[in-house]
A and B are shown apart, each in its own frame.
Chain A
């Protein structure tokens, strides 16, 4: 099965970006809790305060968007974005001036 065929199911990437206050102890605690919760939901850090998750279908992406909405912290500026696998694949990534390898989506079958 080729990947284009799987892509017909609308493989999506959910991106959560956030800026949260860290002045007081309680703010930092809220920040740490929020970060832990999105890690528990299967998000991975892409950059500081920017977490991404691969979702096999549009419906699945919606589930994870809803989960993030449920745990929104009291303070802070948060963005949730869904983009298709194709759009995600067009992202250019650099380490300094050197081009870095693009992230690969989770394969349906993986052999370790």
Chain B
């Protein structure tokens, strides 16, 4: 089931009636409705949005990822519900008790999937990717050789041919701002689905920064990052100018949840693919499986 993404970039008053979300647009006075249970992600991106408490409560009860943005329109906060799954406390316990070898194996699979997707993205744009393919084949348990960083070094140098000196870091030059935006949306989707699978997004399998509240989300989203990079690449190609985020760029970046990805041999929207990934992770923690299900970017355009 494809959940909806609602984005609010204009003054609006959000309230609820008959279990539905009612949106009163301030400029036109128009009233629109949306079924709360059909929403997956809701983004608040205007300083003049008023939202009632009962809307927030109902959104969270339906496991909606509620994202708030700051005055420069970058996502700052993510709100998730406390009980996303009936077996939650059992799953939390299994997650906490997960053995180090299991975590290392899962991280190995994650890094391999990420580097493969990066390599395939480069292949789509006819950029040499031999280095990455070699690295992907060499990832050890727990990525002890840090292939991920080596791959990133090569990848970021080559992925945007229009910017020969491109450096990826959070406060860096554009198109870093586009990447940040896309990753924030992706992170919200992953965190939402982790909660939906009864897992704690805070406890990672590799990331363990004490200041990071979404370590597991950051782990699991790694192989999905190249999909965001692909969208950003297409935006740069199409626009040329991207020093500022325009609504049309946001529209493209917000299309990420509905993007088609190939997972387990079948096409599916990215949001559903993430759901399958988090479900497979829960199975690994339960001890029923040792394989994480990740999507594979095709090496050529389909």
Q: A: which residues have CB within 8 A of B?
A: 1, 5-6, 9, 36, 39-42, 44, 53, 56-57, 59-60, 106-112
Contact = CB atoms under 8 A, between A and B. Distances in A.
| B: interface residue count bin | 20 to 34
A40 B19 contact: yes
Contacts of A56: 1-4, 38
Contacts of B6: 110, 112
A42 B35 contact: yes
B125 interface: no
Contacts of B257: 108-109
Contact of B255 (A1, A41, A44, A57): A1
Nearest to A60: B1
B35 A112 contact: no
A109 B5 contact: yes
A111 B9 contact: yes
A109 B4 contact: yes
Nearest to B9: A111
A111 B5 CA distance: 9
Interface string B1-16: 1111111111010000
Given A39-B18, A42-B19, A112 B2 contact: no
B98 interface: no
Contact of B251 (A5, A60, A106, A111): A111
Nearest to A57: B1
A112 B4 contact: no
Interface in B242-267: 247, 250-251, 254-255, 257-260
